Structure 1
Amino acid sequence: MRETQRKIIDALGVRPEIDPADEVERRVRFLADYLTASGAKGFVLGISGGVDSSLAGRLSQLAAERVRSDGGDAVFVGMRLPYRVQHDEHDAVAALEFVAADESLTVDVAPGVDALNGEIRQATGEELTDFTKGNTKARHRMVTQYAVAGDRGLLVIGADHAAENVTGFFTKFGDGAADLLPLSGLDKRQVRALLRHLEAPQQLWDKVPTADLLDDAEGQTDEAELGIGYDAIDDYLEGREVPVRAAETIEAAWHGNRHKRTTPVEVTDTWWRPTGQPDEPTGEGTALVVIDMQNSYFEFPELAAVRDELVGSINELIRAAHDADRPVVLVRTEHAEDGSTWTLNMREDDQGFAFPGTEQARFLDGLATGGHVEVVKTRDSAFFKTSLRAELDRLGASRLLVCGVSTHSCVAQTAIDGFAENLHVAVARGAVSSDNSPLSEALLEFLHDQMRQPLLDQTQSLELLRTGHWPD
C-alpha cells in the first residue's frame, strides 16, 4: 500500500469491509446520542434525490424516531431545494418517499441566486461564471437549511463521506458546511450498501451521482467532473491496489483541497506553506483521551462501586477541556458479533461483548458525550488499528491526558503505545479506576518510572487542561 494511501485511509477512518446493519445502527445511535446531548430539537437536511442525501436523510429520520421512542422530543425536516425545476425531479420525489421525513419543505433557491447574480452584474458589469454560480446555488441551499434550523432549534445534517472528502468534491461553506456528518468514513460503494440494506428503491442506490450545479452542463456526472471513477476511489480508500495514475489523481486532489478540510486557516497553521509537509502535525496541544466509559466494563463490582464518582471526575475534566478549547477524544470498545474482531481469549471462551447497538456498548448514562471525537477500538490499546493517531495529528495534539478504565489494561496499554508513538502522555490518576488494584499500581509505577509519564491528581489534571502547562 502507498504511504500516502495509508495516511489518507487512517485520516478518514475508512474500513475495508463493513457490515451494513452494524453501520446503520452505529450511525443512527451517533445521531440520536448527539441530538440528546446537544439539547437540539431535531435535524434538517436537503434531499436532492441522490445516493448520499437519501441515506443521510433516512438515518436522520430513524434517529429522530429513536429519540422519540426513548421519551425525547425530535423531528426530522427533509427539504427540497431546487433551482427552478430540478431535471431529475422524479428521483427527488422517490427519495422523499423513501426517507419518510416527519416534515417536508420545498424552497426554490432560484430567486435568491438570481438576485445576487443580478446585483453582482450591476456592480461589476459581468455575470457570475457558470461554475461560480453553481457553488452559489450550493451555498444558498445551506443558508436556507441553517435559516430553518436556527428558527426551530435543529441541527443541520451534511451528506459528505470519504469518497467526496478525499477528492474535495463539495462546495466550501456550501454542502461542506453542516453540524453533523453521519456518513463520514464511508466510501461511495459502502453508502450504496447501506441504502440497499435499508431497502431503498434501486433507482436511488444505483443512481449515477451528479452534483447538478451547472446550467451549461445539466446532469453532468461527478465522475466526469472528477476525471476518475468512484470504483477507483473506493478501491483506494479500502486499501486495494489501484493504477498509479488513479492513485496520483486522488492524492493530488487530497493535497490540493486541503483548504476545504481546514477552514478557516488560523495564524498557527503551517500546512499551506510551500516549505512544509502539509500532512505533518505541528501543534503542541493537549488532548483529553477518555477510555472505555461504557456499560460493559462497569459490570465488574469493583468498578460499579465507583461508577458515579468516576463519571463525575471525568465530566469535570471534559468540561475543563471544552472551556479551554482543548479536544476531547472518547474511545470505546466495540466487537463484531461474528467474532471477526475478538481477541484470542474471547475466542477460547467463545464469548464476545460490546456488540454494536447493545446496552453493553453504550457510554454510561451521565457521561458528558457532546462535542468530542470518537474512536472505536477492538484491543486494549486505543492506538491499535484505530484512527486515534490520525485524529490527534489532525487536531494538532502531541500531548495526551488519559483517563477512564481499566487502569491495568486499556489505560496502561494506551499510555505505553502513546510513548511508542513519541507522544507525551500523562495519566489522570484521579479519573482512572480498575478491578485489579495491585496490578494497576504496579503498572502506574512502571509508566512513571520507566516512561517518565506524569501521574496527576484531579487538581493537577484540571490545571493542565486549563493552562496547557505540561508538568515537569
Structure 2
Amino acid sequence: MQKISTINAEKVNQHIVNWLKTYAENAKVNGFVIGISGGIDSALTSTLCAQTGLPTLCVEMPIYQAQSHVFRAYEHINQLKKRFPNVSDTRIDLTPVFKTFKAEVPTSDNEAKLHLSLANTRSRLRMLSLYYLAGLNGLLVAGTGNKVEDFGVGFFTKYGDGGVDVSPIADLLKSDVRALAKHVGVPQSILEAKPTDGLFGDDRSDEDQLGADYEELEWAMKQMEEGKTSENFSGREKEVFNIYKRLNAINQHKMNPIPVCLIPKEFK
C-alpha cells in the first residue's frame, strides 16, 4: 500500500514555483532544461518549471530505451506543450554515441561492474547533452531527484543525473512527489508506472535494484533519523532497515561535498 502524503499540495506547488522563478531571475538565465524519462520525478519537475512561465525545454535522450518509457515521455511532453505555451521539446538519440563509446573503451570480465559502469555512462551522456543545450539557450539544468534518492540511499549517478543546477523536488519524499504530481496534472499512465531509472534498456524497476520500494525506504529513513538500529526490528522491517542503512553508508561519497585536501598554512 502506498504511503499517504501529508503535504499541502497547493502551498508546496506555489512555493517551489516561486523558488524556481526567483532563482532563475537572480541567476539572470532564461529558463530551464529537463531530461524527460517517462517517470514521475521528471514529469513533476518539468511541470513545476513550466508553471514559472519561463522557457522550459523538455529533452528526450533515448539510449536503447524501453518502449513503455518512450510512450510515457511522449505523452507527457505533448500534454505539457498543450497546457503551457512556454514549453518546447527536442529529442537527442544518444544510441549511436553510446555504441561508439562502448566500441572504444576497454571491456571487463566482471559482468556486474561492466553493466553498472555502462548504465552510469548513459546517465553521464545525458548530463552532457543537457548542459550543451543549457549553454546554447541560457538555461538552468533542473534536477529530478527526490529526497529518498538524493539524501537517503544515493540512488543517482554522480555527474550524471546528479549533475544539475537546481533541485526543486529534492526535499520531497516519493509519497510527496506522487501527491504533488497528481495535483499538477501529470498523466495517469505516469502516476501508475513503477519507478525505474531506465539506465539498463529494460523494464527493471528501482525496487528491483534497491531491494525495497520507496514506501519501505521512507519508513527506514525516518527510523534512522530517530536513532533506531536494526536491533529494534525483526522480519521484513529489519531487512529493509539494513538495506537502507547499507545504501546510505556506501553512497555517502555521492551525498557529501567533494573532500578537499587542505594544505597547512606553514606549507604555503
Q: What TM-score do the two structures reach when normalised by structure 1?
A: 0.48
Is the Cα–Cα contact under 8 Å of residues 163 and 188 in structure 1 kept in the other structure? yes
State the match for 1:255 in structure 2. Answer: 249
The alignment status of 1:223 with 2:217, answered yes or no, reads no
2:57 to 55, 77, 88: 77
Deviations 1:149-199 (A, max 9, x none): 012111000001112121111111000110000001111111010011112
State the match for 2:99 in structure 1. Answer: 114
State the match for 1:141 in structure 2. Answer: 126
| 1:97 CA displacement | 2.5
Q: Provide the C-alpha distance between the structure 1 equivalents of 2:180 and 2:79, rounded to a whole number of angstroms.
A: 13
Is the Cα–Cα contact under 8 Å of residues 81 and 107 in structure 1 kept in the other structure? yes
1:92 to 57, 65, 73: 73
Deviations 1:361-381 (A, max 9, x none): xxxxxxxxxxxxxxxxxxxxx
For structure 2, list consecutive stretches of 5 or more residues without a partner in the other structure.
Answer: 263-268
SS of structure 2 residue aligned to 1:135: helix
User: What is the RMSD computed on CA atoms of the aligned residues?
Assistant: 2.2
The aligned length equals 240
SS of structure 2 residue aligned to 1:180: coil
Letter in 2 for 1:161: N
Q: Provide the C-alpha distance between the structure 2 equivalents of 1:238 and 1:193, rounded to a whole number of angstroms.
A: 19
Distance 1:231 1:104, change over 3 A: same
| 1:138 CA displacement | 0.5
Deviations 1:386-406 (A, max 9, x none): xxxxxxxxxxxxxxxxxxxxx
Alignment of 1:24-173 (within 5 A): 24-63=13-52, 65=53, 74-88=54-68, 89-100=70-81, 102-121=87-106, 129-165=114-150, 166-173=152-159
Alignment of 1:356-435 (within 5 A): none
1:213 to 174, 179, 199: 199
Q: Provide the C-alpha distance between the structure 1 equivalents of 2:75 and 2:18, rounded to a whole number of angstroms.
A: 25
Is the Cα–Cα contact under 8 Å of residues 42 and 76 in structure 1 kept in the other structure? yes
SS of structure 2 residue aligned to 1:129: helix
State the match for 1:267 in structure 2. Answer: 261
Q: Provide the C-alpha distance between the structure 1 equivalents of 2:42 and 2:251, rounded to a whole number of angstroms.
A: 22
SS of structure 2 residue aligned to 1:43: strand
For structure 1, list consecutive stretches of 5 or more residues without a partner in the other structure.
Answer: 1-15, 66-73, 269-472
1:189 to 175, 185, 194: 175
Deviations 1:202-239 (A, max 9, x none): 11112101112114xx1100001000111111233456
State the match for 2:265 in structure 1. Answer: none
Q: Provide the C-alpha distance between the structure 2 equivalents of 1:92 and 1:152, rounded to a whole number of angstroms.
A: 22
Q: What TM-score do the two structures reach when normalised by structure 2?
A: 0.83
| Higher-Rg member (1/2) | 1
More strand by share: 1
Deviations 1:64-119 (A, max 9, x none): x1xxxxxxxx3110001111454222111122123336210000111221111111
Q: Provide the C-alpha distance between the structure 2 equivalents of 1:159 and 1:91, rounded to a whole number of angstroms.
A: 16
- Identity in percent: 28
Is the Cα–Cα contact under 8 Å of residues 192 and 206 in structure 1 kept in the other structure? no
